[in-house]
């Protein structure tokens, strides 16, 4: 989930009002304390360190997380066939000795031997095959189930209607303890690159005894294991993990353990970081954008990130699904002055978006065209031609425990300046997990923040995995047969240039339908305390948890 861009600077009273409101909002957040206990404060003699995060949306099951709160602990406690190079995003073998295919449809996987789960159980081919089959079965209600859709037999375990007619996919076969095969329904050239994502992790047999209980205290095979003696997962507060000394991977943990702390706001987290009560922060609050590099000096991290910020729409709501509503979404996009907002709030560190791919992802271009350019006159025209904003007003939902209130306010102010003062307003949820529940359960009636970090550095991840009909992260309920067909062809193409051309055509369809509005590409803005060293952020914008060293 990431060009040079010409920036248009605007002056005048209207712009000053937008900036003042955006930067001045949320001052009360600075007074909010952490919801976590202080017992796991900055790096200590025990060799543990702390990092900011959010409450997981769901139980900690590998196929049941597609948001940061669940992804962070699962990425620490599990390893699959591959992982990703922190600097390049390239696939790096983890448990895979090899994964080969001559046609991108039939794959043979050979595992490294000697790996164990945290309870001592050996990790075998069956550990992978059983986990993927369980995650795919519709009655198990895993949020990432559609990641298995390309595997032959998925339709039987996860039919579009009715109950499953099978519990295993015919495309998965265990050959021996260290070998299994995968048969896909079509060629997918990027399939190997997907294998580092959490739905493709293995599971121990203990999982199947009580999946819900397991989700409260998962047993993985990664460099960290849940530290139950330190409280494990304490709901609404923190998750603590410790180093797994029998871990066989090359990325062994360099600390004794980590506590992921759930702060109520990023302002509170940043205050704790400056006071050396928090060791690693992955995002800066808006209030600190102008000062954090001066505050932290060489402990500030600024680097490119494979991610994008967008506004999504509930296309399952009939009012947002009409042909006219597409014109309204286009008009709303053209009412947003991305250049002015990124200058005012992010001091120019973020880059206005020109497509749905982030810079650094193959195929990144300016395919969004005029729809992503600020044009107040055209914006008014399109919204009027489309019949006006559904339900009479645009609300943009976001979580108050992340650094988003200010930019959402600024976007609404820009829309209001174009369409009228009552056209748009923010809708705040207290926690990210609460907002995600509303979004994934298709309960939204208006717009919502929908940022995306890459899971693997291919166009597939930004396009197919979000906009294909029925995809796991298709929160909008978007469905377009032309897009689906182009995506299918693009993934199957063996020639890279052909694939990228097809993806560009698919993005052209998105520009017409606009199921989401691209806003800007993120830059990693992170930092760390004086109590830790060797803090790195990967190309996806995530901390490299295993590399952090406690002084």
What's 92's domain CATH number?
3.40.190.10
Domain with residue 386: its CATH number is 3.10.105.10
Question: What is the pTM for the complete model shown?
Answer: 0.82
Mean pLDDT of 275-299: 96
Residues 449 and 326 in one domain: yes
Once rounded to an integer, what is the mean pLDDT over residues 259-267?
A: 94
Domain boundary among 190, 223, 243: 243
Give residue 127's region: left, alpha or beta (phi > 0; psi -120 to 50). Answer: alpha
For the chain, state the CA radius of gyration: 23
Q: 17 pLDDT exceeds 60? A: no
Domain boundary among 190, 212, 243: 243
Residue 119: count other Cβ atoms within 10 Å of its Cβ.
12
192 and 72 assigned to the same domain: yes
Is the per-residue pLDDT at 387 higher than 90?
yes
The reply to whether 486 falls in a domain is yes
Q: Is the pLDDT of residue 44 over 90?
A: no
Instruction: Kindly state whether residue 189 falls inside one of the protein's structural domains.
Output: yes
Residue 403: pLDDT band by 50, 70, 90 thresholds? confident
Distance in Å from the first CA to the final CA of the chain: 32
Residue 33 above 50 pLDDT? no
Same structural domain, 400 and 517 = yes
Work out the number of other CB atoms within 10 angstroms of the CB of residue 47: 16
Assigned domain for 41 exists: no
Question: Residue 431: pLDDT above 90?
Answer: no
Structure tokens at 3: 């060009």
**CA separation for the pair 213, 233 (Å, rounded):** 12
Tell me the pLDDT tens digit for each residue of 230-258: 999 999 999 999 999 999 999 999 999 99
Q: Of 243, 259, 285, which closes a domain?
A: 243
Q: How far apart are CA 5 and CA 397, in angstroms?
A: 28
Is 484 within the bounds of a domain? yes
Regarding whether 98 and 178 lie in a shared domain, the answer is: yes
Cβ atoms of 260 and 281 within 8 Å: the answer is no
Domain identity same for 513 and 392: yes
| Domain-located, residue 300 | no
Q: How far is CA 392 from CA 30, 162, 368, 376, 379, in A?
A: 33, 37, 26, 19, 16
Q: Among 273, 277, 276, 299, which residue's Cα sits nearest to residue 287? A: 273
H or E segment to which residue 96 belongs:
strand 96-100
Percent of the residues in the chain that have a pLDDT greater than 90, as a whole number: 83
**DSSP string covering 346-361, please?**
HTT-SEE-SSSS-TTS
What is the sign, positive or negative, of the torsion defined by CA atoms of 390, 391, 395, 397?
negative
Q: Are residues 405 and 481 in the same domain?
A: yes
When divided into structural domains, the chain yields a total of 2
Q: Round the average pLDDT of the chain to a whole number and report it.
A: 90
User: What is the rounded CA–CA span in Å between residue 201 and residue 112?
Assistant: 15
- Could you list the residue range(s) of the whole structural domain that residue 474 is in? 306-524
Q: Which segments of 150-255 are extended strands (E)?
A: 172-176, 179-183, 224-226, 233-234, 238-243
Confidence of residue 3 (pLDDT cuts 50, 70, 90): very low
* Proportion of the chain above pLDDT 70, given as a percent: 92
Q: What is the mean pLDDT of residues 47-52?
A: 98
User: Is the per-residue pLDDT at 28 higher than 50?
Assistant: no
Residue 351 pLDDT exceeds 60: yes
Same domain for 395 and 513? Answer: yes
């Amino acid at each position: 989930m990431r060009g040079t861009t010409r920036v248009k600077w605007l002056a005048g009273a209207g712009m000053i009002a937008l900036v003042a409101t955006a930067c001045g909002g949320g001052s009360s957040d600075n007074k909010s304390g952490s919801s976590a206990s202080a017992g796991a404060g900055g790096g200590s003699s025990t060799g543990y360190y702390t990092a900011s995060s959010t409450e997981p949306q769901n139980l900690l099951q590998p196929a049941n997380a597609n948001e940061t709160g669940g992804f962070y602990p699962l990425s620490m406690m599990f390893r699959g066939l591959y992982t990703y190079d922190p600097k390049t995003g390239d696939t790096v073998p983890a448990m895979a000795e090899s994964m080969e295919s001559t046609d991108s449809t039939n794959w043979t996987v050979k595992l490294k031997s000697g790996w164990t789960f945290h309870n001592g159980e050996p990790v075998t081919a069956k550990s992978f095959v059983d986990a993927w089959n369980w995650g795919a079965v519709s009655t198990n209600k895993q949020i990432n189930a559609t990641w298995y859709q390309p595997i032959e037999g998925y339709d039987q375990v996860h039919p579009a209607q009715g109950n499953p007619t099978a519990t295993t996919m015919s495309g998965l076969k265990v050959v021996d303890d260290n070998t299994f095969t995968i048969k896909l329904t079509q060629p997918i050239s990027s399939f190997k690159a997907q294998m580092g994502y959490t739905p493709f992790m293995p599971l121990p047999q203990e999982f199947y005894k009580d999946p819900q209980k397991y989700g409260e205290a998962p047993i993985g095979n990664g460099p960290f294991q849940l530290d139950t003696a330190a409280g494990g997962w304490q709901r609404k507060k923190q998750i603590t993990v410790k180093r797994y000394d029998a871990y066989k991977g090359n990325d062994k943990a360099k600390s004794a353990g980590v506590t992921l702390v759930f702060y109520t706001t990023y302002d509170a987290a940043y205050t704790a970081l400056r006071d050396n009560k928090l060791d690693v922060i992955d995002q800066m609050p808006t209030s600190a954008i102008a000062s954090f590099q001066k505050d932290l000096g060489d402990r500030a991290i600024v680097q490119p990130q494979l991610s994008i910020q967008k506004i999504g729409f509930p296309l399952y709501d009939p009012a947002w699904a009409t042909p006219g509503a597409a014109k309204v979404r286009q008009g709303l996009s053209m009412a947003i002055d991305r250049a002015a907002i990124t200058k005012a709030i992010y001091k120019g560190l973020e880059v206005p978006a020109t497509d749905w791919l982030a810079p650094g992802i193959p195929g990144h271009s300016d395919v969004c065209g005029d729809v992503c350019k600020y044009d107040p006159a055209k914006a008014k025209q399109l919204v009027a031609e489309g019949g006006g904003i559904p339900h009479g007003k645009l609300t943009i939902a976001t979580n108050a425990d992340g650094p988003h209130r200010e930019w959402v306010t600024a976007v609404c102010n820009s829309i209001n300046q174009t369409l009228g003062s009552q056209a748009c307003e923010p809708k705040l949820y207290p926690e990210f997990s609460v907002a995600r529940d509303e979004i994934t359960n298709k309960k939204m009636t208006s717009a919502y923040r929908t940022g995306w970090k890459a899971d693997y550095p291919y166009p597939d991840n930004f396009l197919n995995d979000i906009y294909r009909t029925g995809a796991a992260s298709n929160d909008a309920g978007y469905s377009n047969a032309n897009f689906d067909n182009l995506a299918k062809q693009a993934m199957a193409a063996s020639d890279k240039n052909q694939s990228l051309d097809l993806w560009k055509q698919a993005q052209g369809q998105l520009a017409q339908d606009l199921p989401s509005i691209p806003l800007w590409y993120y830059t990693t803005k992170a930092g760390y305390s004086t109590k830790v060293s060797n803090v790195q952020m990967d190309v996806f914008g995530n901390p490299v948890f295993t590399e952090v060293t406690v002084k």
